[in-house]
């Protein structure tokens, strides 16, 4: 059920929400575990986005045509 | 004229006389033009060719030598006004203007005329800035109208090629002063305007006298330039010169070199600028990425994400705390109950018969457990249980001892 095509901003914002919910502590144990899993997934997506972008920029350095 | 036919044609003399009669009816007029030829060789008459400065048309003019002498010395292509009458010469059938008076059009006069023309064209909106078209950044081809083998031509071409080596020109070398200038420049302009590839046209010539530059204030040339769709850059004469062409041009350059610089970008400079922009874009983006990376790291470092055990430990801590509370609560209850018990024990103890027994009494029970209260009910040999202060024993009933 995880959408790999989610935009960077959407993933990052959802991650912030997940962390917020977990810190509230109001979720059930089961929900908390699910939230944490989702958080991990989102963090991974964000990291992939950032790493990919960095790679593109580095390879487009002037002189590296 | 009069009736003729192939059967009854008119002879030459009649025809020519008839034309003369017709022409003689035309009165004198004031006409203006340039003296392109002056022939004072023979006799008392001078022969002049008077041409229109704008188009390739001329008239032959004849006058008494004194008429022309009055305005000598004349510069080449002198602009003059004449009071002249058309005359038909029957000798050879030619039409000539017979000039009675010729005046030079002075510089002052010319300037005044120019001012008037300028005002007229301005009022028609030909100089309006919203008519000006901006110059293309990288023109496919540059049209260049200039004098033959002039410095102006060299300046434009060299400076353009220095900035952009592969620039392409369409050059039209023409006469840039005097009689033929207006028509040659106009023709060149029309030609270049028609070429689609030519995306900008430079018209240039070096410095010169007021008269030299006059063709570039010619009304027909100026109107033609105004009507051109291709942008025109004019670089005529020096800074101080201002032919009317400058006013309808889309850009006025102060020199031919300036024109070249305007029309051709400095490619090296442009490449550098683009490279710098690329750099800036990269750096801005990298900065943004750093910012985002930090954000993500911060989120990941939060305890709930980094050490999610807290989800569990925080809950088990709650459980432990609850257990604790339950424990303590229970312990308290137990303590309370214990204390109650102690109290009850004391009370029970207080109510117990042991004290009485301790005082020496004993409880006598029959064999069936009943307590013996009545001695007369006892029979000899009955077994009795005796509960003393300390311990129990059995006894048998024996005949009573009488106290004697």
Q: How far is CA B352 from CA B222, B338, B360, B361, B371, in A?
A: 144, 21, 15, 14, 17
- Cβ-based burial of A43 (10 A; exposed 0-12, middle 13-18, buried ≥19): buried
CA A15 to mean position of chain CA atoms: 6
What pLDDT is recorded for position A4?
57
Are residues B376 and B341 part of one domain? no
Residue B122 shares a structural domain with residue B248: yes
Residue B69 CB neighbours (<10 A): 12
- Structural domains in chain B (count): 5
Query: Are B129 and B215 within one domain?
Result: yes
What SS3 class is residue B110? helix
Q: Residues B124, B138: one domain?
A: yes
Domain boundary (B105, B129, B149) is at: B105
Helices (H), B11-101: 12-24, 65-69
What is the ipTM for the molecules in this complex? 0.74
Give the structural domain span for B317: 306-349
Q: Do residues B52 and B101 share a domain?
A: yes
Distances from the Cα of B28 to the Cα of A56, B94, B98, B331, angstroms: 86, 17, 9, 144
For chain B, how far is it from start to end, CA to CA, in angstroms? 217
Q: Does residue B195 lie in a domain region?
A: yes
Query: A6 and chain B: CB distance < 8 Å anywhere?
Result: no
Q: Do B161 and B36 fall within a single domain?
A: no
CATH code for position B17: 2.40.50.140
Q: Do both B98 and B121 map to the same domain? A: no
Question: Does one domain contain both B261 and B377?
Answer: no
Closest CA–CA distance from residue B288 to any residue of chain A (Å): 10
Instruction: Establish if A63 touches chain B: CB-CB under 8 angstroms.
Output: no
pLDDT of residue A1: 44
- Residue boundaries of the structural domains of chain A: 8-59
**DSSP letter (8 states) at residue B216:** G
On the question of pLDDT at B231 being above 90, the answer is yes
Which residues make Cβ contacts (< 8 Å) with residue B6, sequence separation at least 6? none
For residue B335, is it within any domain? yes
The tens digit of pLDDT for each residue in B100-156 reads: 999 888 777 788 888 899 999 999 999 998 889 999 888 999 999 999 989 999 999
Nearest to B315 among A29, A39, A54 (CB): A29
Residue-wise pLDDT tens digits, B203-216: 999 988 888 899 99
Pick the residue of B279, B281, B304, B307 with the most A CBs within 10 A to test the interface with A by mutation: B304
């Amino acid at each position: 059920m995880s959408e790999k095509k989610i935009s960077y901003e959407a993933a990052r914002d959802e991650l912030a929400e997940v962390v917020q919910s977990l810190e509230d502590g109001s979720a059930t144990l089961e929900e908390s575990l699910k939230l944490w899993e989702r958080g991990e997934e989102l963090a991974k997506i964000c990291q992939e986005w950032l790493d990919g972008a960095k790679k593109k920029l580095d390879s487009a350095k002037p002189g590296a045509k | 004229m009069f009736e003729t036919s192939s059967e009854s044609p008119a002879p030459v003399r009649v025809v020519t006389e008839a034309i003369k009669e017709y022409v003689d009816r035309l009165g004198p007029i004031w006409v203006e033009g340039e003296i392109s030829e002056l022939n004072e060789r023979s006799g008392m008459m001078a022969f002049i060719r008077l041409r229109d400065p704008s188009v390739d048309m001329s008239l032959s003019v004849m006058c008494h030598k004194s008429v022309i002498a009055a305005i000598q010395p004349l510069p080449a292509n002198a602009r003059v006004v004449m009071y002249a009458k058309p005359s038909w010469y029957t000798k050879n059938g030619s039409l000539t203007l017979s000039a009675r008076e010729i005046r030079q059009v002075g510089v002052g006069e010319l300037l005044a005329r120019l001012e008037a023309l300028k005002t007229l064209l301005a009022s028609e909106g030909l100089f309006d800035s919203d008519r000006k078209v901006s110059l293309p950044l990288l023109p496919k081809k540059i049209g260049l109208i200039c004098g033959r083998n002039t410095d102006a031509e060299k300046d434009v071409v060299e400076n353009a090629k220095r900035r952009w080596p592969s620039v392409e020109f369409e050059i039209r070398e023409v006469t840039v002063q005097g009689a033929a200038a207006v028509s040659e420049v106009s023709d060149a302009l029309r030609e270049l305007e028609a070429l689609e590839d030519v995306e900008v046209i430079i018209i240039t010539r070096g410095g010169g006298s007021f008269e030299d530059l006059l063709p570039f204030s010619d009304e027909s040339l100026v109107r033609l330039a105004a009507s051109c769709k291709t942008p025109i850059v004019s670089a005529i004469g020096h800074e101080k010169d201002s032919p009317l062409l400058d006013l309808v041009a889309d850009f006025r350059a102060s020199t031919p070199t300036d024109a070249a610089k305007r029309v051709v970008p400095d490619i090296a400079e442009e490449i550098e600028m683009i490279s710098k922009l690329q750099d800036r874009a990269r750096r801005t983006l990298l900065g943004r990425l750093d910012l985002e990376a930090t954000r993500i790291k911060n989120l990941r470092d939060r305890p709930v994400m980094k050490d999610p055990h807290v989800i569990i430990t925080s809950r088990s801590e709650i459980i432990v705390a609850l257990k604790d509370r339950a424990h303590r609560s229970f312990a308290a209850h137990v303590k309370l109950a214990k204390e109650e018990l102690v109290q009850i024990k004391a009370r029970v103890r207080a109510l117990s018969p042991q004290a009485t027994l301790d005082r020496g009494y004993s409880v006598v029970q029959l064999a069936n457990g009943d307590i013996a209260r009545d001695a007369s009910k006892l029979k000899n040999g009955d077994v009795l249980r005796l509960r003393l202060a300390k311990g129990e024993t059995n006894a048998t009933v024996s005949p009573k001892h009488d106290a004697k």
